[in-house]
Structure 1
Amino acid sequence: MHFGERIKELRESQGLLQRQLAANLEIDTPMFSKIERGERNAKREQVIALAKFLNVSEDELLTIWLSDKIIDNVRDETAALAALKHAEQELKKKSK
């Protein structure tokens, strides 16, 4: 699931309008609509604000948001999966 899809799912399940979330983020409704459709990337601060407003885990939304960013950067690379596996190994080493 992509970030925009998850935001839309959460928004609709809570009976909220796009303009309500847009106002919370201090952006216009068309800009929020683009984020929800995946045509525009949210900023990290916006992801955190959305998590609070929608009463969901910040980690959940940040994980999906970061995943989308990674996919955008590697989607056309033939070595994408190998690079991701390598990056995972490197991250594991650094977290020890």
Structure 2
Amino acid sequence: MNLADNIKVIREKQGLLQKEVALHIGVDKSTYSKIEKGLREVTVAELQKLTKLFNLTADQIMNYNENSIPTEVVIEDKSTIEQMQLIQQLDEEDKSTVFKIIDKMLTTKKFKDFFNKNVAML
């Protein structure tokens, strides 16, 4: 498949109308239609807007293979080691957020355990 075909398949798979995508990338519907038909090339700026709209990288759009893009990662069904490996794949800001949440939960658990232990002594 070529880029035009990839864009069309991705749009359809995400349930978007041509006019919605056209509006998002800043072209009229007829111009967008030409993009999907391969009659007009996509500009770099338009491709960047498509990446945001489709939540895919430019490489994923250009080399689209619907079997290569994971739809969802469910961490609950993974072992602890697999969970940590998945967390390590996150960017630094996201990793920091995950660890802050874990720290907050552990602090809350320690407080509850301390409270329950000391209330039982009364």
TM-score normalised to structure 1 length: 0.61
Aligned residue identity for 2:35: I
Matched, 1:49 2:49: yes
Counterparts of 1:1-96 in structure 2, within 5 Å, are 1-61=1-61
Note the C-alpha offset of 1:63.
5.9
Note the C-alpha offset of 1:27.
0.7
RMSD between aligned alpha carbons? 1.6
Q: What is the DSSP-based 3-state SS (H/G/I as helix, E as strand, rest coil) of the residue aligned with 1:47?
A: helix
* Kept after mapping to 2: 8 A contact 1:48/1:62: no
TM-score normalised to structure 2 length: 0.49
* Kept after mapping to 2: 8 A contact 1:4/1:38: yes
Aligned residue identity for 1:53: L
Q: Distance in 1 between matches of 2:19 and 2:28?
A: 7
Aligned residue identity for 1:38: G
* Unaligned stretches of 5+ residues in structure 2: 65-122
* Unaligned stretches of 5+ residues in structure 1: 65-96
Q: Distance in 2 between matches of 1:54 and 1:39?
A: 21
How many correspondences in the alignment?
64
| More contact order relative to length (CA 8 Å, sep ≥ 6) | 1
Higher helix fraction (1 or 2): 1
Identical counterparts, % of pairs: 34
- Taking structure 1 as reference, are residues 63 and 21 closer, same or farther at Cα in structure 2, changes over 3 Å only? same
